[in-house]
Amino acid sequence: MPAPRRGKLAYKLLFWFLLLSMGPMLFVGWHLVRGSQRALRRATLEMQESLAVGFADTASKYVATFRNALAETSSVADFASMNPVRQRQYLDRLLQIHPAVLELSVLDARGVETLRAGRFLGPKPEMRDFGRDDLFEVALGPKGRYVGRLERFQGLYPTVAVSVPILDQSAQPSRPVGVLMARVSLNPLSTMLATEFPLSGPSSAAVVARADGFLIAHSDPKEIYRPDARLPDEVLKALSAQSADHGGGDLPVLSDGRRLLAAYAQTRDLGWLVYIQQPVEVAYQASEEMTSQIVKVLIGVVLLVTALSWVVAGRITQPVRLLKEAADRLGQGRFEDVPELVATNDEIGDLAHTFLDMSESLKEKTGELVSAKQELEKFTKFLEKRVDARTRELKAAQDELIKKERLAAIGQMASVVGHEIRNPLAVINNSIYFIKTKLAAGGEPDSKLSKHVKIIESEIQQANGIINEILTYSRTRELKPERVRVNAWLEELLALYPFPPHVQLEKRLDPADPAVDVDVTEMQQAVRNLLGNAVEVMPPPEGGRLVVRVAVPEPGWARIDVADSGAGIPPEALDKIFSPFFTTKARGTGLGLAVVRKAMDRHKGRVDVESRPGAGTTFRLWLPRAA
Amino acid sequence: MTPLPKLLVIDDDAHLRESLAEVLELGGFECHQAGNAKDGLAAAQKLSPDAVIMDIQLPDSSGFQICQELRRRSKTMILIMMTGRFLSSEEKTQGFELGADEYITKPFDLAELSTRIRQLLSRNAAR
């Protein structure tokens, strides 16, 4: 019977190990990733915000630099009272010191240009009137300065106008007598953005813009020169909703649905915005890297734990597997094959110990069973043999009994018949004797009468002969064995036997001349019967050849063969010829060969026959040799 | 003239005893018959035969018993036993010990029987 498919213990252990160790680890790992991701993102956002705030500061400082430079020049003690040539010298020096300053103008108290110096001006530039301009009025106001009027210089890059009042130092208190104005390039801001904010990726940008979207600076300086350079409206819209002066967060602003991490800050006094955006995946790259790192570590740990669990499960289950294997072998009766069990110092060790005890006991018991079985088989065989032998003996005894009973019955019958027939036969004999005597007394008797008397006498003799034969066969006289030498005994018998002349006798005696113990009378009768039969089957005129042979065919046995050259016995009759009253002759009792067999039986010998129809018959009498 | 030797034939078979007696009478004997043991013993007592021929099997007794009784009465009486079957040598010996002189087997050779009786008688006479 095949064992039902079962899960292996090692797999089960492995599963539970993994569940117990991996579960908490994955839980903790997930939270760790989540937490650190959040922290990192917050940090990233804060960093971006602080960048924005820092740059807002930078932008303010940038503008402040020029304002201060202008204020320094305008507040030179006698600037207001200087003639234009000297004023011009100051202006030229400013232009030299600050490359970003594109143009400088001196406005009088009415706001009309009195002096104009610049890098791209012709020798006689047009004098403009700023009398109604913020540029002039604000600078003269209580604030004392003006920054604004953003415009693209010659349509190219953004510039800003900065103006400060020119004060008459001689008056007490001093009073403004004009304005010093400068147009400053904002390109350096873009350069600064590009260096301070080296952004990567197409959607990354750091931008300085006015609240209405006018682009002041861009981390990608090329953007500035684009004619339609503006802060995108959606960004503007998002920023206008912010109330704080700085902040940031995720903005779903990209057309392709990607999210941006954005931060903004307002400059302190200029009303400008610094805006920084980065795609989320770039901004959070560190967090993603950390996540992937943690996942890698986790996978590594999982693999390691799996491997360790595998080894541990294997170690735990190995003794169990060995036990199972041992139990399997034990079950198959292979006691010699039982594998070595590891004696571990635990319950499995105990189990192994118990198992070994059990297997020993089982082996012993099986051995006992096997030997008992063998014993039983031996005994059964012995009994069978005994039964067979006994059955054979019984059968032989039964056969013998049947034969004896039959013989006894025949004997009894023969005795009765013999006795009862002999009486009338005796009477007939007496009477015919009487008649014969009377006839003889009465002179010459009738010859026919004498012949018939003789016939009767002859028939009486024949009847008496038959009765004698039957009585001889049925009689059980005691054997009187004497030791004879077969050669001499047989020669004497043959010499006395009246062989007819047409039968040619051939004697073949054996030089060993065996000795046998026989009842001479009975054995002579047996041989005579065979000789008589042989002579009978070789009738004149052809006659035949009769061979009488003595042989010592095998140790312990002597044999007398009587072979004729007669017609032979038909095969179907062969097994009946030794039965009493069986005969093939026209006249005969059928007792001749029965007498032979009875004699041989009584002498512990046997008789057998070999006959070939047309070639002759050989009877062989086997007699045990005398010791 | 000398009296004929006296014989007594005891047999239950009337034909046998008659035929035997008459054959023996032809041979020059005076024959008497008896059909059983009792009659036979009585006849022997009365007649004192020279020889008794008896069957060893009679309806009322064994021939050997008559033989024994007759021998007890006379040492010289010739006792011949008739038999229809083979007798073992033990039986024969026993019979001789009880006093039987001779055994004859049916059917008899009558000439031989006559001669034998005469021979035995003459031997007795010579004694």
Out of A422, A433, A437, the one facing B106 most closely (by C-beta) is: A422
Percent helix, strand, coil in chain A, to 5, is 50, 20, 25
CATH 3.30.450.20 fits A75-185, yes or no: yes
In whole angstroms, how far apart are CA A92 and each of A104, A163, A436, B97? 9, 17, 215, 202
Q: Return the domain boundaries, chain B.
A: 7-122
A200: pLDDT confidence band, cut at 50, 70 and 90?
low
Q: How far is A489 from chain B (nearest CA, A)?
A: 24
What is the average pLDDT value for chain B, to the nearest integer?
90
pLDDT of residue B1: 58
Nearest to B86 among A426, A441, A475 (CB): A475
Please give the average per-residue pLDDT across A435-459, as a whole number.
86
- Whether residue A85 contacts residue A64, with contact meaning beta carbons closer than 8 Å, is answered with no
- Does position A608 have pLDDT exceeding 90, yes or no? yes
Sheet of strand A544-551, all strands in order from the earlier edge strand to the far edge: A503-508, A544-551, A557-563, A616-624, A606-612
Number of H helices, E strands in chain B: 5, 5
Chain B residues in contact with A422 (beta carbon < 8 A): 84-85, 105-107
Does A406 or B77 have the greater pLDDT score?
Answer: B77
Q: Hey, of A417, A427, A453, A459, which one would you mutate to test binding to chain B, going by the most B CBs within 10 A of its CB?
A: A427
* A620 in Cβ contact with A561 (< 8 Å): yes
pLDDT band at A251 (very low <50, low <70, confident <90, very high): low
Instruction: Using DSSP, state whether A371 is helix, strand or coil.
Output: helix
Residues whose CB falls within 8 Å of the CB of residue A301, separated by 6 or more in sequence, listed in order: A25
Q: Which residues contact A607 (CB under 8 A, 6 or more apart)?
A: A578, A593, A596, A597, A600, A619, A620, A621, A622
Alpha-helix runs per DSSP H in A241-331: 280-283, 285-331
Domain with CATH 3.30.565.10 in chain A: 478-624
Residue type, B1: M
Q: A430 and B26 in contact by Cβ < 8 A?
A: no
Residues of A with CB under 8 A from a CB of B: 415, 418-420, 422-431, 433-434, 437-438, 441, 460, 464, 471-472, 475, 477-478
Query: Given CB atoms, is B103 within the 8 Å cutoff of chain A?
Result: no
When scoring B33, B86, B109, B114 by the number of chain A Cβ atoms within 10 A, the one with the most, hence best to mutate, is B86
CB A449 within 8 A of CB A442: no
Distance CA A423, CA B55 (A): 11
Partner-chain contact B23 A433, CB within 8 Å: yes
Q: What are phi and psi of A433, to 5 degrees?
A: -65, -45
CB atoms < 10 A from the CB of A534, how many? 26
Contact A430 B23 (CB under 8 A): yes
Tell me what pLDDT residue A1 has.
47
- Please determine, for residue A497, whether its predicted confidence score (pLDDT) is greater than 60: yes
Q: Which residue among B23, B88, B107 places its CB closest to the CB of A434?
A: B23
* Alpha-carbon distance A598 to nearest alpha carbon in chain B (angstroms): 18
- Interatomic CA distance for residues A239 and A260, integer angstroms: 14
Q: How far apart are CA A183 and CA A161, in angstroms?
A: 4
pLDDT of res. A616: 92
Tokens read off for A368: 């006992």
Tokens of A548: 């009488």
CATH 3.30.450.20 positions along chain A are 75-185
Length of chain B: 127
Contacts of A441 (CB under 8 A, 6+ apart): B26
What amino acid occupies position A322?
L
- Distance, in Å, from the CA atom of A426 to the CA atom of A249, rounded to the nearest integer, reads 164
What residue type is assigned to position A484 of the chain?
Answer: V
| Residue A325 neighbours by CB under 8 Å, 6+ apart | A339
pLDDT for B27-67, tens place per residue?
899 999 999 999 999 999 999 999 999 998 888 888 899 99
**Which residues, listed in sequence order, are joined to residue A217 by a DSSP beta bridge?**
A208
pLDDT at A254 over 60: no
Given a cut of 50, is residue A132 above it in pLDDT?
Answer: yes
Read off the amino acid at residue B37.
Answer: A
Report the residue of A419, A432, A434, A521 to disrupt the B interface, i.e. the one with the largest count of B CBs within 10 Å: A434
Look at A423 and B20 and tell me if their CB atoms are within 8 Å. no
pLDDT-based confidence at A473, cuts 50/70/90? confident
Q: Please provide the average confidence, as pLDDT, over all residues in chain A.
A: 84
Domain B7-122 sits in which CATH superfamily? Response regulator (3.40.50.2300)
Strand partners, B90: none
Percent of chain A scored above 70 by pLDDT?
A: 96
Question: Is A221:A247 a contact under the CB 8 Å cutoff?
Answer: no
Sorted by sequence, the CB contacts under 8 Å of residue A405 that are 6+ apart come out as: none
Residue pair A453/A439 in contact by the 8 Å Cβ criterion: yes
Parallel, antiparallel, or unpaired for β B30-34 and A616-624? unpaired
Evaluate if pTM is beyond 0.90.
no
How far apart (Å, rounded) are the C-alpha atoms in residues A279 and A300? 31
β A616-624/A606-612 pair status:
antiparallel
pLDDT of residue A621 exceeding 90, the answer is yes
pLDDT of residue B49: 94
SS3 A93: helix
Give the C-alpha separation, A215 to A232, whole Å.
10
| pLDDT tens digits along A1-16 | 454 555 577 788 778 8
The segment with the largest mean pLDDT, out of A118-122, A142-146, A399-403, B103-107, is B103-107
Please determine, for residue A201, whether its predicted confidence score (pLDDT) is greater than 70.
Answer: no
Q: What is the CATH number of domain A478-624?
A: 3.30.565.10
Helix boundaries (H) for A475-485: none
A72-79 mean pLDDT: 78
